[in-house]
Structures are given as C-alpha cells and as structure tokens.
Structure 1
Amino acid sequence: MRLTVVGAGYVGLVSACCLAEMGNQVCLLEHNPARLQALQQGRVPIYEPGLEALLQQVLNRQLQVTGNVSLALNEPELILVAVGTPSQADGNVDLSQLWQLAEAVQEHLRHPTVLVLKSTVAVGTGDALQAWFEQRAIPVQVVNNPEFLKEGAALEDFRRPQRILIGAEDAAAAAIVERLYVPFTRNQARVLHMRRREAEFSKYAANAFLASRISFMNELAELAEHVQVDIEAVRQGIGSDQRIGRHFIYAGCGYGGSCFPKDLRALSHLGRSQGLPLPLLSAIEQRNERQKQRLIDKLEALLGSHWYGKRVALWGLAFKPDTDDIREAPALVLLRALLARGATVQAHDPAAMPAVAERFPEAVASGQLQLCNEPYAALENAHALCLLTEWKLFREPDWLRVMQLLAEPRVLDGRNQYDPGQLATMGFVYLGIGRGGLASERRNRAAA
C-alpha cells in the first residue's frame, strides 16, 4: 500500500519503519529540521532497541523521509497520524497539530483517502474531524486506530500485536485499515472493530487501568511497612491468582513517561467536562505523586534530613528501562531534592544521561551533578546507592566492589530488585519499597 505517516516521533517512526519492512511504500513526514536531517541520514533521535538498524534497512527503499507536505499528502491510500497531543494545564489534550494537519490535507490532497488516528486524542475527536472534512466536501474517512506500544519493546509490540482496535463508522475504510495489518495478524485474529469513540475511549481506559494496578500495589506497600509485611511475598501470593495475573503489580517508586500521566489527566478532564467526578482516577494520580515523594522519605531514613555535602549515587534516570525518556520519571523527583539540599549526585543511566544533562545544565556545569560513563564510577565515595530504574545492567552487581567503592554501605532499592537478606549479610543497610517484614526496614523506619 502507499501510505503517509505524519510525525516522526516515537509512535510515527516505529509505525513507519515496521510498515515499510512489510513492503509498503511509506512516506514519513517530519517538520522538525534537526530530526528530519537525522532521519534522512539513518540516525534515530530517540532510544529504542533495534529501531535504528531497521530504519537503515528500509530508508530510501520502502521508506522515504521528507519535510515536503505536498509530496507527502498528494495521493496516499492511507494517512497515519502520529502528531503530538500533549497535556494542557487543565488536563485536556492539545489538538492543535492535528487541526493543522487537517488544513494541510484540505490544501494538498488530490484523491480520496483514509486518515488513521494513531495519536491519543480526546473522545469525540474523530467524529469532529470527520464532520469537518464532510462540511468541506473533502474525500476523507477518519478511523481511530490507537497504538499500544511499550517503550523499549515497540518493535516487538508492532510486529506481534496482542490486539488491533479499529474504530470506524465506514465499513470500507475499516476494511482498508484491517488490510494494512494482515502481515501482522496471520497467526491469530486480533482485530476488534468498534466505533471511533469507543476506540478513543479504549486507549484511555487501558492506560488508566494499568496505572491503577501500580498505584494499588504502591499503596499496599506503604501499609505493609507499618504492619511488618514484605510486599514482595504478597505480590507473589496474589499474582499466582489467574484472575489477577503477574503484570503491573510490582511495588516501586511510581510510574512516569508520556502515556499514563497524560492519559489519566485527560480522562479526569473528560469526567469534569460531563459534570461527573471520578475520584478513583484522582486517587491513582495522588498515590503516584506520593510514591515519588516517598523516595525522599526513604533517603532521609538512610542519611538523615541534612544532605549538604553528601554524595549520592543514582542508578537509573529514565522512567523505565530500555528508553531514554525522562518525562515525569520518578528519578527526577529525588534528583531535584538532592540538588536543592546541596548534595552531590553521581548518576549513571545507559540511555537517559543526555536528556538529563539537557534538563539540568547548571548542575552539570557546576559539577554538582556528575553523569558517569559506567555504573561503578557513580559509586565512588557515595554515602548511598539509589536504584531508580531497573535496567538489566543493574540486576546483578558485584556487591563486594560496591561495598569497596561506597563511603557508607547504604542501598535504597526503589524497584525491589535486590535480595535484602544477601545485602544484610554482607553488611549493607537496605531499604526497599514495602519490605516491612524485614528487620532492617523496621529498624530504619523506627530511627527516621
């Protein structure tokens, strides 16, 4: 098929490359000059395992990257829309880029086409866009086809989707979109058809539900610390129930990224716009913000409240492993508190350090924030090690080397990744999240 993907951000770039890999002729439209130049040279401006190799495989073969709007919108069979829809102050999504695209389609389109919304949009956006095109007699059918890509596993998710939602009022347009996914659904029928509004709502509902599981476990984890219960044992106990399952029930330092926070705010805004309070959604957000702040409480339990002159090692800065995305990352909450209180921070992250350097240029320039090229360099003379992102690189450290490098053997495990018994035996002071059944956790909480 001949198709155009608008927007070379995370969703658009992954979609364009995977669809080109299957033999489609794909035109990727990008307006940002720096990003456009990088892509045309085969360089990916984001961190996603395997994506740059795939781009180089399809570039200038099945995939053309351009900034020419007329070329991109002239006569595609499909237009996949992956423009940004950021949060506004009130939680609603900013659809300005989408409406700018609609005007460009009006100006440049020469043949009937199907416009497929991959961007996460407010419920009712597809209907409003369809009405806009019909009022102007523009031959476009709007379909909502939400993305469910996980950062760090996006190629696998696109190539082997668990489900494909097609929200459309026009059966012919829905059939065209379904045909696009045939190479990805040969082994199992995963295509679900519904109306546009239902597809739009489904994306929000999925992310809100997953976020609720995380906040639920984090709330129980705090209670567990007060009643001498290890939340990890509880996680295993409830995760073995098939009705619950094992996914998204890990206590930790909260969720971040571009999807869960933004989509929860948008869903809450939708409720307010209908005069309907949604206290459960508000509670999920409030719990998550508290969970990030609990990192500060935990470190105070280890180091006391005066951090001036202390050195603290951070392992992990991205909001999750296998990405360089630091948007609303829990690590940044602790990092800001450390810098504000005069601590020196020594940090390592396999992918996110350039983004952190750009976010905190003054701290980097002054030396208060030191971004280290390898994990152990971050430990030298530090008074505590804080694990904040569960990269594989950090799973099995050399604890004898860690002990030798740290000024004080203190570990804040924000992801419950380490064995508290092993560390206690070696002489470490350990704090995790919800490890209230552990003697070391109880002693540190009592002393705080």
Structure 2
Amino acid sequence: MSARHVAVIGTGYVGLTTGACLAFLGHSVVCADADPHKVERLRGARVDILEPGLPERVREGLEAGRLEFTGDTAAAVAEAEVVFLCLPTPMGAGGAADLAAVEAVAGQVRDVLRPGCVVVNKSTVPVGTCERVAALLGRADVSVVSNPEFLREGRAVEDFLHPDRIVIGAADQDAARRVAGLYAALDAPLVLTDPASAELTKYAANFFLAMKLSFANNLAVLCERFGADVADVTEGIGRDPRIGPAFLRPGPGWGGSCLPKDTHALLTVCDRSGVDFPLLRATIETNVAHQRRLVERVAAACGRGAEGSLHGVRLALYGLTFKAGTSDLRDSPALAVARLLRERGAELTAYDPALREERPDLSDLVDLVDDPVRAAEGAAACLVLTEWPQLRDVDWAAVAACMSGHEVHDWRNLLDPDVLARTGLSWRGIGRPAAARVA
C-alpha cells in the first residue's frame, strides 16, 4: 500500500472517524471543519464525540504527524490526491436530503483541486449526487466517486477498520482503484460498481434495517396478544441465516442520525420518480404508531380520570440518547416518546449516563438530573428508553422507596423482573410475559 495525501472535509462522526482511521492506516490526512472551536480542540486531541477508540486514534495520528486539523478548506485540499466529503445531509423540506453543505463545499474547492484529484462522496446522498457534484466542480480532470459509509455509532472505529464490505461507485475505474487502494490494508470484500448503485446501496441498507426494527416492534405486540415471548420468537427466527439476529430487538421505536432521515429521503425519491414503495411507507408509519401505542400504555396505567390524562403525572425516563454507547440525541426515539408524553401533560425527569457532562438544552422537555434515584422521586412510573447496561446496577430499592407508583416500563427488555419484584416494583417489558427473566 502506498501512502496518499488525503483531505477530509467535515469532522462529525463520519469525517473524524474517516480521517483518524486513514491516518492510522499510514496516510497523510488533513481534516477541515468550518467550526474554529472544534478545530482548536481537535488540534489538542480533545474529542467531544463519545466514540470508543476514536480519541486514541486522533491522538496517535497527531503524534505521528500523519493527522492535522484546519479551518481552511481550500488549503486542506490544495495538495490532496483524494478528497473525502463527509458533510451533513439532514432531512430537508418534504423529507428530501438537504445537500446544501455538499454543494457549498464543491463550490469552495472547485478551483483549488489539483489535477487528477479524486473527490469522494462519503456522505449519505441521493442517487445522482455524484453527477451533481461533478457538474458543480466542472473539472474534466477531477473524478467524483461514491464511497458510502456503514459505520455504527458506538462502534465506528471498529467498523471502519474491520468492515463488512467496502462499496465504491465510479464511472472512472482508475479512480475507483485509487480509492480502493486507501483501504488496501483492510481485509474486506470490495464491491466495485457505478455511482448510482453505490448511492442506492446505502439507502437500501438503512431502509432494510429500519424495516426489521418495525417488524420486531409489531411482532412484540403480537406476542403480547397471544402470550408468547418475543425474545424466544426472535431467537428462533434469527438463527435462520436468511434472516439473521441483528436488528430484531423491540424497543421504543427506531431513530438516530441515519435511519429516520434516510428512510424519508428514499421515500421522497420514490415519490418524485413515480415509484410506489408501500413497504417503505409502512415501515415509517409503523414506527410512529408504535411510539403512540407505548404512550397510550403509560396513560392507561398511570393516567387520571376516564380518559387517562397524564396532566401533572410525574414520570422518570431512563435514557435519552438514541442508543447506548453514544451521546447522540439526533432523532432519538426516547425524545420522540418524551415529546408525546409532554403533549399529554406529563412532567418528565430524565437520567442518562452519557449526558452528565454535557447538558443539552432540553429544559422545555425534561428535567435532566445526574442520578437515577433522584430522577425517580415522586414518579408514578419509570420508563427505560435506552439500553444502557448501567441501568441494571441501579439501586432499585432506593428507586422504589422514592416513587409514588410502582411500575417500571422496560421498553428495552433490559432489566430482570425478579430483581425489581424483590423491591416491590412491577416490571412490564415489550412482547414478554411479566414473569420472563431477562438475559
């Protein structure tokens, strides 16, 4: 493998992981970001993203002289052989992906890219974006390639260095080989294809994962109806290699920085292109309906009056991040449920082990506290919304003593009902009998 000069534009989860890991693989990497405060902190090896292994990779790259950070995008790309665009593509009007950041950077670097440079779209973008970026660059001597990321938050470094596959879409096969060469040290299947196929692969993957989660959540409802145990059912079907066990655990709905925006973006693409995809639409609608169903369950158990009003009812929320192992709140299903509860008048106090240091402004939604027992003070019920393993070690006897009610709605099937029962608390999971033991 020959070392390359690489520029990475954007230092979010994808950009910072990409830059730090490429430096770890021996390349010379310059990461650019428009936020001067972030750049200054990264120069000092201070990583604000909660991501195992990432601070170490950043520190190693800086100390080895293979990784640097700048706020000057033009300077970053001037000597680069390969430029990665790792920019946000949030949900825009009507659900479409907002490509403003990608298009703005293309305009900024157009005149400073060196001849023969390869520009790589690593952001999740709609089909046709490679062609769009190429048109914005207007450089016949520069190739544009799609190389979508498949990184899981909380395991991003591991996923980058031990990928299931590397997908590269390019019209220019020499450019594709050059991008593939960056990953030569990794033992992973290589999928070489055209740009449109690579772009669609990313959306198709996230849609399929969202569909499995919606399926698991509806399956849990079916298990409750017939007295079955969803943990046993999903183990039974997950051992079929055609299905697999991943993404079959029910919860309070799916969310995060990718699945919601990508499923909506794909649905918008389908609508605009005249392709009817009812399964995609049902996947999204099922997720919303599932969250409303869970809120109704709380109202039925803790609400006041014939209509089950939650006005003034205090509830404790355990977990706000969209999954354990990250501090990311973007499109968190926990926050979606919290908003529905607030709409019903509930008073919410929350505890999340990842949010004790950085306190996001959630004051209009929840009162965030640093102690799980304090969160439960006066609560009619506790709701487990994120699968933090630390919640198993909570002093549940102390929680029971300070609650006004006795119910724990474990929407991650995380806790052991017997442990709670010994403190006088009643456990209710999703798709599981009340007597079920949680592994």
TM over 0.5, shorter chain: yes
**2:99 equivalent to 1:95:** yes
Deviation at 1:354, TM superposition (A): 6.7
- Whole-Å Cα distance in 1 between the matches of residues 426 and 317 of structure 2? 16
Tell me the residue number matched to 1:278: 277
Give deviations 1:74-123, integer Å, cap 9, x for gaps.
12110011011111122221112222222222221233201111001110
**Please, which of 109, 117, 127 is the counterpart of residue 105 of structure 1?**
109
Tell me the residue number matched to 1:236: 235
> Bigger shift: 376-385 or 138-147?
376-385
- Whole-Å Cα distance in 1 between the matches of residues 410 and 122 of structure 2? 36
Q: Which letter does structure 2 place at the counterpart of 1:411?
A: V
Tell me the residue number matched to 1:374: 371
Contact preservation (8 Å) 1:117, 1:146:
yes
**2:174 equivalent to 1:172:** yes
Please report the TM-score for the alignment, with normalisation by the length of structure 1.
Answer: 0.89
Give identity over the alignment, percent: 41
Give deviations 1:183-222, integer Å, cap 9, x for gaps.
222xxx4111111111101001111011111101111222
Contact preservation (8 Å) 1:21, 1:58:
yes
Matches within 5 A, 1:368-447: 369-420=366-417, 423-424=420-421, 427-435=424-432, 437-438=433-434
Structure 2, unmatched stretches of 5+, are none
Contact preservation (8 Å) 1:106, 1:138:
no
2:374 is paired with a residue of what secondary structure?
Answer: helix
Matches within 5 A, 1:5-404: 5-59=8-62, 61-133=65-137, 136-185=138-187, 189-304=188-303, 305-352=308-355, 357-358=360-361, 360-362=362-364, 369-404=366-401
Contact preservation (8 Å) 2:147, 2:166:
yes
Note closer, same or farther for the CA distance 1:398–1:115 as it changes in structure 2 (3 Å cut): same
Deviation at 1:17, TM superposition (A): 0.8
Note closer, same or farther for the CA distance 1:25–1:382 as it changes in structure 2 (3 Å cut): same
> Bigger shift: 272-281 or 101-110?
101-110
Structure 1, unmatched stretches of 5+, are 364-368, 441-448
Tell me the residue number matched to 1:446: none
Deviation at 1:396, TM superposition (A): 4.2
Deviation at 1:46, TM superposition (A): 2.3
Please report the TM-score for the alignment, with normalisation by the length of structure 2.
Answer: 0.91
Contact preservation (8 Å) 1:298, 1:431:
no
- Whole-Å Cα distance in 1 between the matches of residues 353 and 302 of structure 2? 26
Deviation at 1:40, TM superposition (A): 2.4
Note closer, same or farther for the CA distance 1:423–1:146 as it changes in structure 2 (3 Å cut): same
Superposed structure 1 runs of 4+ greater than 6 Å apart: none
- Whole-Å Cα distance in 2 between the matches of residues 195 and 245 of structure 1? 28
Deviation at 1:370, TM superposition (A): 2.8
- Whole-Å Cα distance in 1 between the matches of residues 62 and 294 of structure 2? 44
Contact preservation (8 Å) 1:85, 1:94:
yes
Tell me the residue number matched to 1:443: none
- Whole-Å Cα distance in 1 between the matches of residues 344 and 100 of structure 2? 40
Q: Which letter does structure 1 place at the counterpart of 2:402?
A: L
Deviation at 1:351, TM superposition (A): 1.7
Contact preservation (8 Å) 2:428, 2:434:
no
CA RMSD of superposed structures (Å): 2.2
State the number of aligned residues.
428
Give deviations 1:244-274, integer Å, cap 9, x for gaps.
2211111111111111111111111111122
Tell me the residue number matched to 1:445: none
Q: Which letter does structure 2 place at the counterpart of 1:175?
A: R
1:182 is paired with a residue of what secondary structure?
Answer: coil
Deviation at 1:58, TM superposition (A): 1.8
- Whole-Å Cα distance in 2 between the matches of residues 137 and 383 of structure 1? 63
2:373 is paired with a residue of what secondary structure?
Answer: helix
Deviation at 1:422, TM superposition (A): 5.2
Note closer, same or farther for the CA distance 1:354–1:298 as it changes in structure 2 (3 Å cut): farther
Tell me the residue number matched to 1:444: none
- Whole-Å Cα distance in 1 between the matches of residues 256 and 49 of structure 2? 14
- Whole-Å Cα distance in 1 between the matches of residues 166 and 219 of structure 2? 33
Deviation at 1:356, TM superposition (A): 6.5
Deviation at 1:10, TM superposition (A): 1.1
Contact preservation (8 Å) 1:230, 1:438:
no
